[in-house]
Amino acid sequence: MFRAASAAFFLILSLAPIAAQSLQPSASIQGFHSRARLISGGTQGNHWLAGIEITLDPGFKTYWRNPGDSGLPPRFDWSGSENVAGAEVRFPAPYRHEDAAGVAYVYGKKVLLPVLVKAKDPGKPVKLVLSVEYGVCKDICIPARADLSLGLTDDGPGRSTIEAALAKVPVAQALGAQGDLSVLAVEPVKQDKPAYTVTIRAPSGAKPALFAEGPENWYLSTSLPDDANRFTVTVEEKPKDASGPVPLRLTLVAGGKSVETEVSLDASGPAR
C-alpha cells in the first residue's frame, strides 16, 4: 500500500535530526523553509485566544489535520504550559493538492491555527509552552519541530489576525441544512470497496472541494465533483475488526465559505 510505504518513509525521516529545533523555547523560531510562532489575542468569554502561525517559503506547503494520501499532520504538545487546563486547536479549511504522490490536503504560504486556551485558574497568568511537529514539503517532505513559548496578555496584539483565522474555520452544520453551501445526502454505492455518494449544494459558479475523515486507522479518498455536484468517498483501508456505525466528518469548501457535517455510516443503509 502506498500509504504504508509513505508512513515508513516519514518514520525514517523522523529518526534523523528534526529541523527547526531550539535549545530555549521562544515565541518565534526560524526553521526548515518555514517560520513558526505563537501569538496572543487576549480573552474571549472564558477563554484566552492564541494562534500558531506557520509561514512557508515560496513553493512549500504544510498539512491539514488529515494529510490525505500522504504527508505529516501537525502534532501539538502543550505539557510544559503553565496554568493551562486545555488548548483546543482549530483548523481553517485546507485546499486540495494533487501530484504524483497522490492527493494531499494542505496549506501554502502562511497558515494561522487558532487556539482556544482554558486557564486552570482565571486569576493567574497563563504561559503557553508548545512543541509542535509539522511537515514542510515541496518535492519531498521533511518533519520540522518548533519549541515555542509565550505568556498570554490582556492586550492581545494578535487578536484581529486570530479572529480572521477563526472566521475561516468550517461552521458545524447538519446534514441537509438550508443555505447556499450544504451537504445534502450521503448514500452507499455498490463497488469493490465500500463507497458513498455525497450530494452537495454550492453557490453557482463556485468550485467545491470535499474533505472526508473517518475514525483512526480508516483511510478515505474523495473524488472531484461531477456535473451534478456529487462526490464519491471511498473507504481505501479500515481495521479488519471494524464493525457497527462509523462516524464520518465531511468538510465542504466553496466560494470562500466552509461547513463541516458529521454523519454516521451504517453498512446496511444510508448515512444519518
Q: What is the pLDDT of residues 38-65, one digit of tens each?
A: 999 999 999 999 999 999 999 999 999 9
* Percentage above 90 pLDDT, the chain: 70
Distances in Å between the Cα of 139 and the Cα atoms of 30, 41, 99 are 20, 35, 10
Domain extents in the chain? 2-166, 171-265
What is the grid cell recorded at 255?
466560494
Give residue 101's pLDDT: 76
Query: 16: how many CB neighbours lie within 10 A of its CB?
Result: 9
Q: Does domain 171-265 have CATH number 3.30.40?
A: no
CATH topology of domain 2-166: Immunoglobulin-like (2.60.40)
CA distance 229 to 232: 10
Q: Please, which residues bridge with residue 114 across strands?
A: 51
Q: Please, which residues bridge with residue 219 across strands?
A: 237
CA distance 201 to 184: 7
CA distance 20 to 32: 6
CA distance 91 to 172: 13
Gyration radius of the chain's alpha carbons:
20
Reply yes or no on whether the pLDDT at 272 is more than 60.
Answer: no
CA distance 151 to 263: 39
pLDDT band at 25 (very low <50, low <70, confident <90, very high): low
39-54 burial, b at 16+ Cβ within 10 Å, e below that, comes to: bbbbbeeebbbbbbbb
Distances in Å between the Cα of 5 and the Cα atoms of 11, 12, 103, 176, 231 are 10, 11, 15, 38, 27
150-163 burial, b at 16+ Cβ within 10 Å, e below that, comes to: bebeeebebbebbe
The angle subtended at Cα 262 by Cα 88 and Cα 198, nearest 5°, is: 135
What is the grid cell recorded at 68?
490525505
Do 171-265 and 2-166 fall under one CATH topology? yes
What SS3 state is found at 124? coil
Q: Which of 67, 16, 42 lies closest to 158 in space, CA to CA?
A: 42
Average pLDDT score over the chain: 88
Contact at 8 Å (CB) between 61 and 99? no
- Phi and psi, residue 160, nearest 5°: -65, -35
- For 197-253, how does the pLDDT look when each residue is reduced to its tens digit (9 = 90+)? 999 999 999 999 999 999 988 999 999 999 999 999 999 988 888 777 889 999 999
